[in-house]
Structure 1
Amino acid sequence: MDQLLAIRVFIRIADARSFAKAADSLNIPRSSVSKLLQDLEQHLGTKLVERSTRSFTITQAGEVYREQALNLLAGLDEMDLTARQTRASPHGRLRVDIGSSLANLVIIPALAQFRARYPDLELMLGVSDRPADLIGDGVDCVIRGGALPDSSLIARHLCNADFVTCATPDYLSSFGSPAHPQELEQNHRTIRYFFSNTGKTLPLHFAKDSERYEVNGQPGISVSESTALTEAVLTGMGIGQIFSFSARAHIAAGRLVPILKEWTPPSHPLQLVYPAARHPSAKLRVFIDWAVELFSKENFKN
């Protein structure tokens, strides 16, 4: 038995609560996952996982063993990092998940620079606005906006991104340009974002000095992906709020017109997030440093 691999398999099973997800994230056959866990339990002389067709539970002994094993693997990773410092660059596969607008307009245009700096790294870029299961899906880190959903995650703040309220010239010619957010509830069509995991539609938010206003009326159309939201506004179907870095080129070309400029939507914090229980590897550390550097150079303000 490869005890080190068996320990890693057990930790991934315990974190993902799934043999299938553990196998997929480690890129090994599912039958090997079951066999390695069985061999580890026989070696230890105790059950680490209680499982049946309908239930899955980590035993008390398994929880204790998992915590000790995490400390052991963190120490091994630190040893590996020290040994690899003589290498020209980090290597291996790195899985990063990111929303579509940030991927298409910020990360992907700069990837050639990242590849030139770290040619031995294989970057897997998962592009979706749907929240990722970092542990279950084997994701090293995600770049997302908003508050942390889980206290077991660590976040590195990247920037605050502004939104702009806008519409096409044709739409404004047909329906007029609103002078107050309240007009959006009655006289205009809106295009809004909804969360695919909950179905909740995000209101349009406005702030002017100490005043706050939300538009919660029935939207004409809602989409669950940030690039598609920009495209929907560009069709002239209504008024929407999109990231300023997404709107900037369209505004400069005259395809979109910013409106309600005195009523600014609150800015959105963007963060790089990774599991607290996972010791940052050398490859994750260099990506974090590169992302912080990249986002510091981009203009996310109106």
Structure 2
Amino acid sequence: CESIGARHTFTEKYPDIKLFISESDALRDIVSEGIDCVLRVGRLADEHLVAKPLCQLEEVTVASPSYLKKAGLPCCIDDLHTHKMIGFYASDQSAPMPLEFCEDNGTIRELSIPRSISVNSAESLVALALQGMGIVQVPRYHIEAHLKEGRLVTLLTHVPPSPSPLTLLYPQNRKYSARVNVFIEWLESII
């Protein structure tokens, strides 16, 4: 996905439309809650919604220089057995998500290593990685500034995590007003 910051914002182009934006990884019943549309990162469960794929978000494996100074730089997946990860609980999961690596032959290898701590927020995941608490996997766009400034370092670039799909979801049978249609068109134009 391209950077949204380089383009005009929706509110500049449509100043009379008021937006309400909420962030959560919890699955919501958008029909009964009257929500017009939802952006979802990751694989989708069987939903009774229209799903419009927008793009694939590049994922990276990272750690802070302070963590790597203590634990060493892993050169291959098997080196991770002596490392710690920061666990991430998605709202629909009963266990932390494992680390995921795409090997050259197309095989996806999942690995759970000891966790120093577990969280259920992407912001907490990144904050703890910056504090040297362990290895994480996150979308590159979320930490690009930290990478450029050297506060986080990419690891195992030869076996990256699978990209995460970004999908727009909206109810099947709802007639959209012009404001929702222009939002969807704007969103497609910036991605």
Contact 2:30 2:37 in 1 (8 A): yes
| 2:84 equivalent to 1:172 | no
Amino acid at match of 1:228: S
Structure with greater proportional helix content: 1
Taking the aligned partners of 2:13 and 2:139, their CA distance within structure 1 comes to 29
| 2:82 equivalent to 1:187 | yes
The equivalent residue for 1:7 is none
Taking the aligned partners of 1:119 and 1:251, their CA distance within structure 2 comes to 34
Contact 1:192 1:222 in 2 (8 A): yes
The equivalent residue for 1:277 is 173
Taking the aligned partners of 1:156 and 1:215, their CA distance within structure 2 comes to 30
Aligned mate of 1:224, from 103, 120, 129: 120
Cα 1:242/1:225, change in 2 over 3 Å: same
Amino acid at match of 2:88: Y
User: What is the RMSD of the two structures over their aligned residues, measured on CA atoms?
Assistant: 2.1
Report the CA distance between 1:217 and its aligned residue.
Answer: 3.1
The equivalent residue for 2:163 is 267
Taking the aligned partners of 2:145 and 2:137, their CA distance within structure 1 comes to 15
The equivalent residue for 1:208 is 103
Aligned mate of 2:26, from 113, 127, 130: 130
Report the CA distance between 1:149 and its aligned residue.
Answer: 2.4
Taking the aligned partners of 1:151 and 1:240, their CA distance within structure 2 comes to 28
Amino acid at match of 1:204: L
Cα 1:146/1:188, change in 2 over 3 Å: same
Contact 1:153 1:273 in 2 (8 A): yes
Taking the aligned partners of 2:64 and 2:45, their CA distance within structure 1 comes to 35
Cα 1:148/1:167, change in 2 over 3 Å: closer
Taking the aligned partners of 2:42 and 2:108, their CA distance within structure 1 comes to 19
Cα 1:228/1:110, change in 2 over 3 Å: farther
Normalization by structure 1: what TM-score?
0.58
Contact 1:163 1:241 in 2 (8 A): yes
Identity score, percent: 37
Taking the aligned partners of 1:287 and 1:275, their CA distance within structure 2 comes to 15
SS state at 1:137 partner: coil
Amino acid at match of 1:272: L
Amino acid at match of 2:86: I
Taking the aligned partners of 1:138 and 1:111, their CA distance within structure 2 comes to 29
Taking the aligned partners of 1:208 and 1:227, their CA distance within structure 2 comes to 28
Tell which structure's C-alpha radius of gyration is larger. 1
Report the CA distance between 1:239 and its aligned residue.
Answer: 0.7
Taking the aligned partners of 2:128 and 2:156, their CA distance within structure 1 comes to 19
Report the CA distance between 1:261 and its aligned residue.
Answer: 1.1
Normalization by structure 2: what TM-score?
0.90
Taking the aligned partners of 1:132 and 1:235, their CA distance within structure 2 comes to 32
Question: Equivalences for 1:75-224 in 2 at 5 Å?
Answer: 113-184=9-80, 186-210=81-105, 211-224=107-120
- Structure 1 stretches of 4+ with a deviation exceeding 6 A read none
Unaligned runs of 5+ in 2: none
Deviations 1:272-302 (A, max 9, x none): 110112123211111111111122xxxxxxx
Report the CA distance between 1:131 and its aligned residue.
Answer: 2.1
Amino acid at match of 1:284: V
Deviations 1:65-113 (A, max 9, x none): xxxxxxxxxxxxxxxxxxxxxxxxxxxxxxxxxxxxx9xxx67x58972
Greater relative contact order, per chain length (Cα 8 Å cut-off, separation 6+): 2
Deviations 1:113-158 (A, max 9, x none): 2112112211111122222220222211100123332342101111
Deviations 1:28-53 (A, max 9, x none): xxxxxxxxxxxxxxxxxxxxxxxxxx
Report the CA distance between 1:246 and its aligned residue.
Answer: 1.4
Amino acid at match of 2:65: P
Amino acid at match of 1:227: E
Report the CA distance between 1:233 and its aligned residue.
Answer: 0.9
Amino acid at match of 2:175: H
SS state at 2:115 partner: coil
